[in-house]
Amino acid sequence: MIVPMKKATILFETKDAEATIAYIRKLGVLQVEHQNLPEGREISELQEKLAIVNSSFNILNQAIISERNLQKQNKISGDWMTVANHIVEQGKRQEQLDSTSRTIIGQINEWERWGDIDQNQVQYLSQNGIYLKLYQVPVKEIGSFPDDVVVKTIFTTADIAHCVAISRRQYECGFKEILPPMQSLSVLKERLADNSRAIETTKKEIIESSSFYEDLSEKKLKLEKEIEFQQVVLGMGREGAISYVTGYIPFDMTENLNSEARNRKWGILITDPSAVDTVPTLLRNPRWVGMISPVLKLLGLTPGYHELDVSMLFLIFFSIFFGILIGDAGYGLVYILITVLITLWLHKKMKLTIEMKTIVSLFFLLGSCAIIWGLLTGTFFGQGWLQPLVPQLNDPPVIATFCFFLGAVHLSIAHTWRAFLKFPSLTALADIGYICILWTAFFLARTLILGEAFPPSGIWLVAIGIILVILFTNPQRNVLRGIGEGMGTMALSFMNNITDVISYIRLFAVSLAALAVAETTNYLASGFGSGVVALVAGVVILLSGHSLNMILGLMSVLVHGVRLNVLEFSGHANVTWSGVAFDPLKE
């Protein structure tokens, strides 16, 4: 559920501002709304420091993880900013060295076929009466040079000869002359070797600096908290000797805040948020519903304060979609096994936090859904030896019908919920009309795609749905005007409702593709005959093919399973995901 919020304003003497805000931060219940633009020298200096620390982390994160993890974590003994600046400088040096190496490699590749030559050598020869020039000459015109000029072809590309011409006198030639490089090939290779050694030294220093990774993380967190604190101090409202902080607080925490205000002699005003306030959203659900929170956080989705909390339905249908899209009991077992191993590793490293436990629980649920669907269809690593519990689910028309049915149910729940919230308003009847249209779309999809006969009752269903939408989308005293608006809405939404139901066929299509990949992998792995070599080749194909298919399966869930919830269902439930997550000022 979305927790109701209250708007609180706390008044205090300006001279006690920092101490008061520090205590409010300690309470950790108020999300502050700035009354003034929070800017100043203190914040700028802190943000500059934070930028340097973030840059140092970007450099440390580029180091090879295995090498970085070998470094024993140490506390910074001196000035931590000096350490961060040193890491940034090393990162810049490595970037410059990499750029220089790329330039040198380009020059070496360009001149390697010409040989070891540079402009100083050419100038030395000319001072001693020997004139050497490099040319690009069409192969057919090599003989066009004067007789006293010695021409040697170094290499040829297509019909162009790259050659060197040597003579005892200056001469003019109409062919394209190539100026020798400033540095010879041997010098360039020596510079490249020096650069490579410098790069390795710099990388080693960066990896050694990663021993301060955890300490820098703590410093970064303190900086972020200090910036947040200073922004509240500089963004608070002021009226003479009185300052005030305004923000939002969950309704069930107002009593505690009132008690603290009385004890500390603050002035306090708690009201309901107005319609124009940007109220943050705090979701508070049962533990099992909270399993979907990692997905919402990953996608950055937060419902608006005045919208519906669809977490429970999101979790239920996301789990169903996962089972259908993966559709293999063997894959589900692998997902669960990987989850078990990760859980044991996290437990060993003492990193099994509450958030990680939620993620682990979610993967256990999703893996179980894949196993259940695999058992229903009798699919185990793309093989059909497992007896299906529901053989009909392997029949394409049946599974396609099931997908359309699932879509109609999913979207009908959205409109049923909206109708329930609108009741007893007449506009609730418009959502009943949309439900009728959705089930008309179900019958129409079966007719258009599967060739099933359209039932006669479908005509009455669509007629009732259209009438309800037209009459009750926006009922007014001026009936004709209300009907006009209803017809406009109907014209825009009718086809959308049909295509939304049909779009659930993606579940069948993607699962069928995944099954085809699994079956192809098994077929290829079994086609090498007998023997040790054939066995090894078959195992490699099985591991690589099924691993790739499992990875693609997870990607398809993120694309299709999420889409059906976030776009199709949320569009019908009028959830725009435009909310701001509740983030109180806290230590």
Weakest mean pLDDT among 44-58, 294-308, 338-352, 545-559: 338-352
Segment 466-481, tens digit of pLDDT: 888 777 777 666 656 6
Give the amino acid at 23: Y
Segment 103-117, tens digit of pLDDT: 999 999 988 888 888
Q: How many domains does the chain have?
A: 1
The mean pLDDT value for 196-200 works out to 92
Query: Which residues, 6 or more positions from 513, have their beta carbon under 8 angstroms from its beta carbon?
Result: none
Print the domain residue range for 137: 119-180
**Position 138 in a domain:** yes
Query: Which residues, 6 or more positions from 369, have their beta carbon under 8 angstroms from its beta carbon?
Result: 319, 320, 322, 323, 326, 332
**Position 82 in a domain:** no
**Position 263 in a domain:** no
pLDDT at 234 over 80: yes
pLDDT at 165 over 60: yes
**Of the candidates 210, 214, 219, 212, which has an alpha carbon nearest to the alpha carbon of residue 46?**
219
The mean pLDDT value for 16-26 works out to 90
Query: Which residues, 6 or more positions from 30, have their beta carbon under 8 angstroms from its beta carbon?
Result: 8, 10, 24, 245, 247, 248, 249, 257, 584, 585
**Position 123 in a domain:** yes
- Region of 246 (left: φ > 0; alpha: ψ -120 to 50; beta: rest) is beta
Reduced to 3 states, what is the DSSP secondary structure of residue 330?
helix
The pLDDT confidence band at residue 491, using thresholds 50, 70 and 90, is: low
The pLDDT confidence band at residue 194, using thresholds 50, 70 and 90, is: very high
Whole-number pLDDT of residue 387: 87
Whole-number pLDDT of residue 171: 82
Whole-number pLDDT of residue 476: 66
C-beta separation of 442 from 410 below 8 A: no
Q: What is the mean pLDDT of the chain?
A: 88
Strand order across the 150-157 sheet: 150-157, 160-167, 131-138, 176-178
Whole-number pLDDT of residue 483: 67
* pTM score of the predicted model: 0.79
C-beta separation of 586 from 25 below 8 A: yes
pLDDT at 485 over 70: no
Whole-number pLDDT of residue 72: 79
Give the CA count within 13 Å in the CB-facing half-sphere of 193: 6
**Of the candidates 271, 267, 270, 269, which has an alpha carbon nearest to the alpha carbon of residue 16?**
267
CA 186 to chain centre: 47
Weakest mean pLDDT among 141-145, 171-175, 350-354, 518-522: 350-354
C-beta separation of 29 from 253 below 8 A: yes
H or E segment and range at residue 215: helix 213-235
Reduced to 3 states, what is the DSSP secondary structure of residue 471?
helix
**From CA 431, how far away is CA 493, in angstroms rounded?**
12
**Position 59 in a domain:** no
C-beta separation of 587 from 26 below 8 A: yes
Residue 183 phi, psi dihedral angles, 5° rounding: -120, 145
Whole-number pLDDT of residue 461: 87
Rg for the chain, CA atoms, rounded: 36
DSSP 53: H
Segment 424-456, tens digit of pLDDT: 888 888 889 889 989 998 999 989 888 888 888
Whole-number pLDDT of residue 486: 62
Cis link prior to 424 (omega < 30° from 0)?
yes
Weakest mean pLDDT among 55-69, 316-330, 494-508: 55-69
Distance (Å) of CA 322 to CA 208, 273, 463, 471? 43, 39, 35, 39
| Number of Cβ within a 10 Å radius of residue 27 | 16
**Position 366 in a domain:** no
Could you identify the residue written with the tokens 């005959």? 529
pLDDT over 90 for what percent of the chain? 38
C-beta separation of 338 from 314 below 8 A: no
The pLDDT confidence band at residue 551, using thresholds 50, 70 and 90, is: very high
CA 528 to chain centre: 40
Segment 363-386, tens digit of pLDDT: 999 999 999 999 999 999 888 778
- Region of 386 (left: φ > 0; alpha: ψ -120 to 50; beta: rest) is beta
First to last CA, the chain: 26
**Position 160 in a domain:** yes
The mean pLDDT value for 264-272 works out to 91
The pLDDT confidence band at residue 210, using thresholds 50, 70 and 90, is: confident
**Position 144 in a domain:** yes
**From CA 49, how far away is CA 51, in angstroms rounded?**
5
H or E segment and range at residue 107: helix 80-111
H or E segment and range at residue 249: strand 242-250
CA 414 to chain centre: 27
pLDDT over 70 for what percent of the chain? 96
CA dihedral 557, 561, 567, 572 (to 10 degrees): 180
